[in-house]
Every structure is written in C-alpha cells, then in structure tokens.
Amino acid sequence: MFDDFFAFAPVVINFPLRKNQLHEMRKAGKPLRYAMELGEYCFTGDFKLCLEEIKSSLDLMGEIHDADEMIPDISLHIKEVRLFNQSIKDPDQRFSTRQLREAVLKLRKQRRELYAELCTKLTLWKENNFRARIITAMSI
C-alpha cells in the first residue's frame, strides 16, 4: 500500500503544478492510513510515529487540494463580477474585486508554503527509506 501511495512522489516533488498526481497520491494514501490505524495497537511505538507522519502528510495534501479547488472558483467569481461591472455605466455603483483578488493571492501563497513543506517531507522519506522504517516497526 505504501508503494502505491509513494509511487506518485517523484512527480509531486518535481512538478508542483500537476494537481491530478497530488490528488491521486492523496487518494492512494487514505487506504494506507486506515490500514495503519487498524494495526497501530499491534506494533511498536515507532509504527505509531510513522502513522502520525502519514496522517500529517495526508492532512497537508488535503489543505493543498482545497486551495487547488478554491483558487479557480474564486477566479471565476472575479471574472463574473468584472463582466457585471462592464455593464454598469456609473463607476460608483460597480463592485470591487479587491478582496477576491487578495483571497486568491493568499491561497496561492499558502499553497506554495504547504507544497514546499510536503515536498521536504517526501524527500526526507525517500532519503531515510520510510517504507523500510514502517516494515521494521511492524516486524519487531
């Protein structure tokens, strides 16, 4: 299960704008998380630490995915407001898109930071052979 989840890591690390691979990695990680939760009481304390790392990574992926979903939605609203504003002749009666633009910028900044954190985590897993750590925690 970990291999199914981690198979997407090279693409996720190297291509931050490929949202589909991130989403597929997240979907592949959920069964791993649930399976690990079922076995967390059977194995050593290190297994529980591995589970916490998996959980935090999936939560991080969820926040990134939420931002990926919200940014286009807000951008669409900005376009709609701009189209509406073009039909109004009096400039004082037009709607401002400033807050919507700021929300998009904030989400993009947040996504970049979270994505960098996730990539750091995945790189460390690769370097430290996280898969072997899970297997070792299960075999003791």
Top mean-pLDDT range of 2-11, 16-25, 31-40, 99-108: 99-108
| Number of domains composing the chain | 1
Mean pLDDT for the chain overall: 90
Collect all residues with Cβ–Cβ distance below 8 Å to 121 and sequence separation of at least 6. Answer: 53, 56, 57, 60
Nearest by Cα to 58 from 90, 34, 82, 86? 34
Domain range for 84 is 2-139
47-94 residue pLDDT tens:
889 999 999 999 999 999 999 999 999 999 999 999 998 898 888 888
Which pair of structure tokens corresponds to residue 126?
């690769």
Q: At what angle do helices 98-128 and 130-139 cross, to 10 degrees?
A: 60
pLDDT at 118 over 70: yes
